[in-house]
Structure 1
Amino acid sequence: MNPILATLFQFAFFYPIVMSFFWMTGGLYYYFRRERWSPTRTQPPAIENPPFVSILIPCFNEGDQVDETIAAALTQRYPDFEVIAINDGSSDDTAEKLNGLAARHDRLRVIHLDRNMGKANAMRMGTLAARSEYLVCIDGDALLDEYAAHWMVWHLLSGPRVGAVTGNPRIRNRSTLLGRLQVGEFSSIIGMIKRAQRVYGRLFTVSGVISAFRRTALHRIGYWADDMVTEDIDISWRLQMDHWDIRYEPNALCFILMPETLKGLWKQRLRWARGGVEVMLRHTRDLLSWRKRRMWPVLFEYMLSVAWAYIMLFIMLLWLVGLFLPMPEQLYVRTILPSWHGVILAMVCLTQFAASLIIDRRYEARVGRNYYWMIWYPIAYWMLSLFTTVTAVPKTLLKRRRERATWISPDRGIR
């Protein structure tokens, strides 16, 4: 086989294995060093003279979920806070429901925007209206755990350079195979990655569905960008490029709805992939400065993931062409079906899921029941990551510059 092609094949094989061990090592180190002996979720560290806190909830067509979302936000076990709901030009009954809730709850304030201007703009309007330096931000369909605000504010108060804190999203809807797979994904992939990145340096992104910010840090960098598909990735990179620290707090739980159809999952993951590509294209040149070197591993890791996706696509295309046309021996791919190397990848993947169970049983005692379904993960999600990445790059390159990113109601699972 051609040496270059052989190198590409080896990279395609070893990249997922190396990254799995990278995440497992960092995640377990984080757990045993910082998490295992920390206070439990219901016993957060005491805060001397707790400051006033603003909880921001941007809403677009959230009529079906807004009642329980606001109810969960208002039951925070925190002494002094307000809840600000920003209705971003909803076309359903969200405005009427928010007005009714505001009439019954003194802590709740509602801001109505006349048209859909996007989540970034809604968050900026909520920040300008907030009365606190400390902002807890959740999505309009998320249920905030009663201790979540306390945990995140504690981090913001622990150091003057802590600019943001990201929480621990948990999947609510688990009625389908896709739902169960995502329970395992958020546990063994997303949570593990955040722990590992926190150990090794910088975070790729806060979770847009649950995060907290210091308003001073947001003001310094100009708040959220309204032309980015994923404003959470962009704000994370810009905060860290301005030398603000971002923390991960697994005790700050938030219960969310996720897609349970292939179409909904594809649209969501394509948006995530486009957001990563947008941030890479916009900020790579700025990251070449030596003063921003701590972000280099995050950029390098993401660029490797993009390269892996295109190399896998190249290998699959060689196999497909070889089915119909004669190919030179050095370019012929006999099969892409898993063989012995596929078994190795599957075993490494299951080992990673087992490691995540050690960590995640602290937050969800029965999470192990989803372990069986994770045998489908390598095929379902590695392929999804591959195709969304290779689709996202050209879509992002062809996107009109400074095009405003507005809301699109997502798939919230099967009812």
Structure 2
Amino acid sequence: MNSHTLHTLLEFAFFYPLAMSLIWMSGGLIYFFRWERREPSRVKPPALPSYPLVSLIVPCHNESEHVRETLLQLAKQTYPCFEIIAVNDGSTDDTGEKLDQLMKEIPELRVLHLATNRGKATGLRAAALAAKGDFLVCVDGDALLDTYATHWLVMHMLESPRVGAVTGNPRIRNRSTLLGRLQVGEFSSIIGLIKRAQRVYGRIFTVSGVISAFRKAALHDVGYWNTDMVTEDIDVSWRLQMRHWEIRYEPNALCWILMPETLRGLWRQRLRWAQGGSETLLRYGPKLFRWRQRRMWMVALEYVVSLAWSFDMAVIVLLWLLGFVFQLPPSLHVPTFVPQWNGVVLGMICMLQFLISLMIDRRYEAGIGRNYYWMIWYPLVYWMLTTATSIVALPKAILKRKGTLAIWTSPDRGI
């Protein structure tokens, strides 16, 4: 490695997040002024031309603590025609008993019991096959769905027969720690803004696994959810769009979720996300070279470049640490990690991105701006986490044997 190579690594580490921030901000603002600005928010949605039956699906595994709250909230949907299907996926606690009890309280509820833990994708497949509705709204067993969410999601399905899925707007419920507060800003400025921009640019990387709606015919077209992918939401999103189904983002479809607030829980969650992205890229990447898949090229390219950035950062950090132990030649010497002018510029752009996203999202969550102060810590905590999980996840995805059932374990739900 010569000095020119090190200079290139350092420039890539700086210019990649800078360029992506500008892309996400511009795309998010275009989305806001084109679709979002004139829409009412948190009020009664516009009337629909019809109200077809919708199946609300809740896969559950050891959700005893949350499932009652989730289903009672789900039953409050203002949409006039729906059923609820809860899947007890081999729970070892009393989730199954609580679901059976809830059937006496919620007339719309049906429960499917799976004898063993077969994974979220298996539960979703079972519920989809049992569903009577042509549209499915899938919610996690610890999430609280806004009463108008189903209405907003179905609206897109009725607007165009090519819409195969709609992803909602997850909001963080727990924010008692620094990690919780950082995730409030992350879901707004990173995840929400990216989905807005990707909707503008043509393809969305993934629906949100915690709140998403599907056209049953589209799922049938692609073979429903794959049971051997660690993130079934990324996998089905790519397959739907590769079959030329459209995926949309609906910010009014709010869903309040619990997220990890410990480093261990956060690591496990982000490692699973990173592995799922790598698995999807490895499985479907070769098929994207076809001209018919050209609209997926930018999504795949952005993910590949983000992986390259993670490895680039790892090399820079390694060289910096080695400099404390060995006398490295000048061509390998990383002088400091203290922000210089480029770090200040990157930090200012990052905070501008947070500001824009929080100003947009205040339509959906009053007082969200108070979390802006904490976002100064986001690059330190989450960029390092993204780098580490991406590096660890790639070989895990490469070595994973195809066909291995992806079962789930109860995640960290915060404090």
Same fold (TM over 0.5): yes
How far does residue 173 in structure 1 lie from its aligned partner after superposition? 0.4
Give the gaps of 5 or more residues in structure 2.
Answer: none
Equivalent position of 2:281 in the other structure: 280
Q: What residue is the counterpart of 1:397 in the other structure? A: 398
What are the residue-to-residue correspondences of 1:33-72 with 2, within 5 Å?
Answer: 33-72=34-73
Deviation at 1:219, TM superposition (A): 0.5
1:153-172 paired onto structure 2 within 5 Å: 153-172=154-173
8 Å contact 2:73–2:145 — kept in the other structure?
A: yes
Number of the residue aligned with 1:268: 269
Which residue is 2:247 aligned to? 246
1:43 Cα deviation from its structure 2 partner: 2.4
Which stretch of the first structure deviates more once superposed, 242-251 or 345-354? 345-354
Cα distance in 1 for partners of 2:27, 2:342 equals 24
Are residues 1:125 and 2:89 paired?
no
| CA shift for structure 1 position 107 | 0.5
Residue in 2 that maps onto 1:191: 192
Aligned equivalents of 1:343 and 1:281: distance in 2?
Answer: 36
Q: Identify the residue that residue 77 of structure 2 maps to in structure 1.
A: 76
Which digits, 9 at most, give the CA deviation of each residue in 1:69-120, with x for residues without a partner? 0011100001111000000010001000000000222100000010000000
Does structure 1 conserve the Cα–Cα contact (< 8 Å) formed by 2:281 and 2:300? yes
Secondary structure of the equivalent of 1:85?
Answer: strand
The residue identity in structure 2 corresponding to 1:379 is L
C-alpha separation in 2, matches of 1:401 and 1:213: 25
Unpaired runs of 5+ residues, structure 1, are: none
Shift of residue 285 of structure 1?
Answer: 0.5
Q: Distance in 1 between matches of 2:105 and 2:337?
A: 60
Distance 2:335 2:49 in 1: 66
What is the CA distance between 1:332 and its match in structure 2? Answer: 1.2
CA offsets, 1:146-169, max 9 Å, x none? 000000011111111100000000
Give per-residue Cα distances to partners, 1:1-47, cap 9 Å, x unaligned.
62232222111111111111110000011011110111323221211
Look up the SS of the partner of 2:48 in the other structure.
coil
2 CA distance for matches of 1:186 and 1:277? 21
Query: Quick check: 2:72–2:106 contact (8 Å CA) kept in 1?
Result: no
Question: For the residues of structure 2 that align with 1:272 and 1:327, how far apart are their CA atoms?
Answer: 36
Cα drift, residue 192 of structure 1 = 0.2
* 1:236 and 2:237 matched: yes
Cα offset, 1:338, TM superposition: 2.2
Deviation per CA, 1:315-371: give whole Å up to 9, x if none.
Answer: 111112222112221111112232222222211111111101220010012000101
**SS class of match (1:371):** helix
AA matched with 1:9 = L
Is 1:143 the counterpart of 2:117? The answer is no
Which runs of at least 4 in structure 1 moved beyond 3 Å after TM superposition?
none
Aligned match of 1:5: 6
After the TM superposition, which of the residue ranges 184-193 and 325-334 deviates more from structure 2?
325-334
Is the Cα–Cα contact under 8 Å of residues 57 and 127 in structure 2 kept in the other structure? yes
Q: Distance in 2 between matches of 1:104 and 1:327?
A: 70
CA distance in 1, matches of 2:412, 2:341: 37
Mapped to 1, the partners of 2:387 and 2:164 lie a distance apart of 32
Identity %: 63
* One-letter identity of the residue aligned with 2:7: A
Aligned twin of 1:362: 363
CA distance in 2, matches of 1:185, 1:42: 25
| In 2, Cα distance between equivalents of 1:63 and 1:42 | 32
Structure 2 residue identity aligned to 1:148: A
Which residue does the alignment assign to 1:413?
Answer: 414
Shift of 1:264: 0.3
The offset of 1:273, in angstroms, is: 0.3
Q: 1:63 & 1:365 partners in 2: Cα distance?
A: 30
Q: Does 1:388 align with 2:396?
A: no
CA distance in 1, matches of 2:15, 2:50: 51
TM-score, length basis structure 2: 0.98
- Structure 1 match to 2:210: 209
Cα distance in 1, alignment partners of residues 10 and 263 from structure 2: 29
Q: 8 Å contact 2:173–2:256 — kept in the other structure?
A: yes
Distance, in Å, in 2 between the alignment partners of 1:367 and 1:41 is: 15
C-alpha distance in 1, partners of 2:106/2:366? 34
What's the counterpart of residue 31 of structure 2? Answer: 30
> Is 2:171 the counterpart of 1:179?
no
TM score, norm. by length of structure 1: 0.98
Structure 2 letter corresponding to 1:23: W
Give the aligned residue type for 1:333: V
Given that residues 267 and 385 in structure 2 are in contact (C-alpha distance below 8 angstroms), is that contact kept between their aligned partners in structure 1? Answer: yes
How far apart, in 1, do the equivalents of 2:105 and 2:309 lie? Answer: 53
Which letter does structure 2 place at the counterpart of 1:317? L
Shift of 1:49: 2.2
Q: Distance in 2 between matches of 1:372 and 1:324?
A: 36
Match of 1:409, SS state, is: coil
Q: What is the CA-CA distance between 1:287 and the residue it aligns to?
A: 0.8
Aligned length: 414
